[in-house]
Structure 1
Amino acid sequence: MDWLLDADPAIRWQVMRDLGDEPAEEIAAERRRVGTEGWGARLLALQADDGQWGGGTYSPKWISTTYTLLLLRLLGLDPESPQARDAVRRVRDGVTWKRSGDAPFFGGQAETCINGMVLQLASYFGETGDLVEALIDGVLGQQLDDGGWNCEAPLHSHRSSFNTTILVLEGLLERERSIGPDAVIAAARSRGEEYLLERRLFRSRSTGEVIRPAWTRFSFPPQWHYDVLRGLEYFRSAGGAPDDRCAEAIDLVRRRRRDDGRWPLQNTHHARTHFEMEDGDGNPSRWNTLRALRVLRWWDGARTAQA
């Protein structure tokens, strides 16, 4: 805990909330620092006058507007803070999808993966209106028969993708958090969750083999990529009792822990970054340690309560 708390405010406030059970006012005070100090303030300062980061809407990775906003959300920038409101207003007013006829940013575009990300951002930062409603309808209408989503459907695949499915599930969950329970969204999420659970979060349903070994190594930020820890973080965030079909994934998280009690950074998704937050693959990662510990706390807490 001392090591985790000796960190940027973006990590500190989440440790205080998810592992330390600190008083709400102290957590809120620490969270406010994300917009004025450290990594959060550095990212906000890099926004251009036209509202963009990195000179683009989705590219270049990972410094474009989309990925920078996703990172600010992971840091926990308070969407009600004046810093967040100003940054999002500039995005709303100035950032568009050039390949979609200059469509507004928060309306999304054609690709399901991107629309899952945009839905998460719109919901987290409090965007509403017809554009967002159309975005939700579009995402819901792209759900496949097996319960998941795939950005290559229907032209190139009729099977779902873990990468696309987790992005859409995160977006739909954030939407329900912003507006309250919604029966249609909840039903779609349930089908998407079942797609992951039937595969134990990383195995082929038909053969039982690990689908992609890279999914068993944990990166941060995950960007558009799926991995087992990201899947578990989604289920933790969604609340409710853990499903027994997550047990093998939980065991994998435990095995990834080092002898010093920490988890390493693994499988970094390389592209341009605004700046580095950790020391590279193989080294102890505060982000992965925080994420793994809160997943295990969720799992173990539920098991203790059941006993």
Structure 2
Amino acid sequence: MDNFSTWVSDQDISIQYLYTKYLKQNPDVELQKRIALEGYGKYLLSQQKSDGHWGKYYYQPKWTSTHYTLLQLKDCGVSPDTSACRNILYSMFEECQLPEGGLNLAKSDMKSDICVDGMILNYASYFLPEYEKLEPLVASILQKQKSDGGFTWYDQNEGDPHSTICVLEGLRSFLASTKDEALKSKVKAAIQRGIDYFYQHQLFLEEKKYQKLTYPFRYFYSIFRFLLFAADLGLEVNDSISEGLKLLSKKEKNGFFTLEKLYKGQTFIDFSKVGEIDPFLSIYGNYIFAQLK
């Protein structure tokens, strides 16, 4: 870990902060304040246009859109009171929230996408934890949980892993921000049903496409991503998680994790190239092993 901490000291300020948050379990507020002024955070914020958007609109084009940039800024640890993020989020809810509570980020007339709604809830609960329009979004999401505990934007009765992990992360983020005990109870129950969905499928351990180490996660499921979620919740290690940890341990080398896959598309930043040590995966990977003992 000495070599790892030395490596961290040479990384972007976001990685230095995430190291204190995840591995030291003592978030350094002074480091967090610098994220908007240096490195990844500063650059992402500098790409915001005069109309408040990144990219062309809330969801166009994919990875440089307002939606995915807000998700990345949250992941980078930028302060939740960052006005640039809060202000465009107010606009997003005013312009895109549908009567049923979900949000349509497209310019066409369509229903909300449960997978996107989950990601919105993830970063909106971080940047606008006090916002009253989060509760209708949560209510909409809870109503769409399938009988198997999963979620999906497909026209089917079973959940899919991509939508489900995005929704679970969103509900987890909301759980940390709400003070409504009755709603907390409902959210916790939905999260447990979602976790059981993954257990029913043994975390999809046998599917090689889900074994790849990739970051940013975007809207895609991976075993690594579930293990990170499990670490955040402090889940008990069962057979499925144990097998997932075995897979992950084979990819670890001296505390570091190498990027194995990137999703195609225009980006603002490539944090690493395939075959290189990835800073986010390395922080998250060590956190997973520390929490899921």
> 1:293 matched to which residue of 2?
286
- 1:21 to 1:187, Cα distance in 2 relative to 1, 3 A: closer
Aligned with 2:216 (options 197, 208, 221): 221
Name the residue aligned to 1:18.
22
**What secondary structure sits across from 1:274 in the alignment?**
coil
The alpha carbon displacement at 1:107 in A equals 5.5
Check whether the contact 1:107–1:132 (CA below 8 A) recurs between aligned residues.
no
Instruction: Quote the Cα distance in structure 2 between the aligned partners of 1:3 and 1:191.
Output: 39
Confirm or deny: 8 A CA contact 2:151 2:167 kept in the other structure: yes
Q: Kindly state the Cα deviation for residue 43 of structure 1 after the two structures are TM-superposed.
A: 0.7
1:196 aligns with 2:198: yes
Cα contact 1:5–1:15 (8 A) shared by 2: no
Work out the CA distance in 1 between the residues paired with 2:129 and 2:103: 12
In the TM superposition, residue 239 of structure 1 has moved relative to its aligned partner by: 2.6
Aligned residue among 78, 84, 87 for 1:86: 84
Deviations 1:82-103 (A, max 9, x none): xx1233213423x479xxxx42
Contact 1:140/1:188, CA 8 A, preserved across alignment? yes
Question: Which of residues 83, 99, 103 is equivalent to 1:108?
Answer: 103
Count of aligned positions: 277
User: Does 1:266 find its partner at 2:268?
Assistant: no
User: Quick one: which amino acid aligns to residue 267 of structure 1?
Assistant: K
In 2: Cα distance, 1:283 partner to 1:240 partner: 30
1:79-126 deviations in whole A, cap 9, x for unaligned?
03xxx1233213423x479xxxx4259952311111111111211112
Deviation string 1:192-231 (CA, Å, 9 cap, x unpaired) is: 011112222124xxxxxx2x31110111110001101110
Equivalent residues in 2 for 1:1-307 (5 A)? 1=4, 2-20=6-24, 27-80=28-81, 84-93=82-91, 95=92, 102-104=95-97, 108-109=103-104, 110-152=112-154, 156-180=155-179, 182-203=184-205, 210=206, 212-258=207-253, 260-278=254-272, 280-300=273-293
The code of the aligned residue for 2:87 comes to R
Distance in structure 1 (CA, Å) of the matches to 2:240 and 2:146: 22
Q: Is the 8 A contact 1:142 1:149 kept in 2?
A: yes
3-state SS of paired residue (1:137):
helix
In structure 2, the CA distance between the partners of 1:183 and 1:5, relative to structure 1 (3 Å rule), is same
Identify which of structures 1 and 2 has the higher relative contact order when contacts are C-alpha pairs closer than 8 Å and 6+ apart. 2
Shift of 1:243: 3.5
Contact 1:200/1:249 (<8 A) preserved: no
CA contact (8 A) 1:197 1:245 kept: yes
Residue deviations 1:18-48, cap 9 Å, x none?
Answer: 22456x5xx1111111111111011111111
How far is 1:160 from its partner? 0.8
CA distance in 2, matches of 1:116, 1:20: 28
Identity in percent = 26
Pairwise CA distance, 1:59: 1.8
| Secondary structure class of the residue paired with 1:179 | coil
Instruction: Report the Cα distance in structure 2 between the residues aligned to 1:233 and 1:223, rounded to whole angstroms.
Output: 14
Contact 1:11 1:287 in 2 (8 A): yes
The offset of 1:16, in angstroms, is 2.2
Structure 1: which 5+ runs fail to align? Answer: 204-209, 301-307
- Contact residue 52 and residue 91 of structure 1 kept, 8 A: no
Q: What code does the residue aligned with 1:92 have?
A: Y
- After superposition, give the CA deviation of every residue in 1:40-94 in whole Å (9 maximum; x if it has no partner): 01111111121110111112110000000000011011103xxx1233213423x
Query: Displacement of 1:3 after TM fit?
Result: 1.3
Amino acid at match of 1:270: K
Query: Matched residue of 1:275: which SS?
Result: coil
Structure 2: segments with no counterpart, 5+ residues: 105-111
Cα deviation, residue 240, structure 1: 4.4
Deviation at 1:170, TM superposition (A): 0.4
TM-score (norm: length of structure 1): 0.84
Q: What RMSD, in angstroms, separates the aligned Cα atoms of the two structures? A: 2.0
Contact 1:10/1:75 (CA < 8 Å) preserved in 2?
yes
1:242 Cα deviation from its structure 2 partner: 3.2
Amino acid of the structure 2 residue aligned with 1:226: Y
Q: Normalised by the size of structure 2, how large is the TM-score?
A: 0.88
